[in-house]
Amino acid sequence: MLADAEEEVAAGNSRPSSKEIVSVALKVGRRTELKKLTATQPLASTIAELCEEFGLDPNMDKYSLQLVVSEEDESHNRYLCEDSRSLIRDGCIIALVHSPQQEVSRDPLTCHLQPSPTKDC
């Protein structure tokens, strides 16, 4: 995230260019905040930093980022992966959500009875 970019400069590494910094609305639970993210940073690192910032379990495998396409119908939202990270652009809404693996392990029977809410990479 942006704070890490500033630390990299202090450590002698180059700062991400303005093209690599994106401003997004980040939803975590019921909270929504404006965040600046480094678009080229691995998603696993971004998720780990967000978990730490929001006091969540540091086990990154429990969480994923989702592009919010429709707040009314979550079935249109899309899990983000390294292959789809280019969808993260200025002004988009990103949600920190439970990972697909976490959702399946919570209630396997329910997952099999309901249509898949999102496309996973």
Interval 4-24: pLDDT, tens: 444 544 444 567 677 789 999
Domain ranges of the chain: 2-113
> Rounded to an integer, what distance in angstroms lies between the CA atom of residue 95 and that of residue 80?
10
Tens of pLDDT along 69-94?
A: 877 777 788 999 999 988 899 999 99
> Rounded to an integer, what distance in angstroms lies between the CA atom of residue 18 and that of residue 112?
44
Q: What is the mean pLDDT of the chain?
A: 79
Give the fold, CATH level 3, of 2-113: Ubiquitin-like (UB roll) (3.10.20)
Classified as helix, coil or strand, 92 is coil
Q: Identify the CA nearest to 61 among candidates 44, 49, 73, 42.
A: 44
**Helix-, strand-, coil-residue percentages of the chain, each rounded to 5:** 40, 25, 35
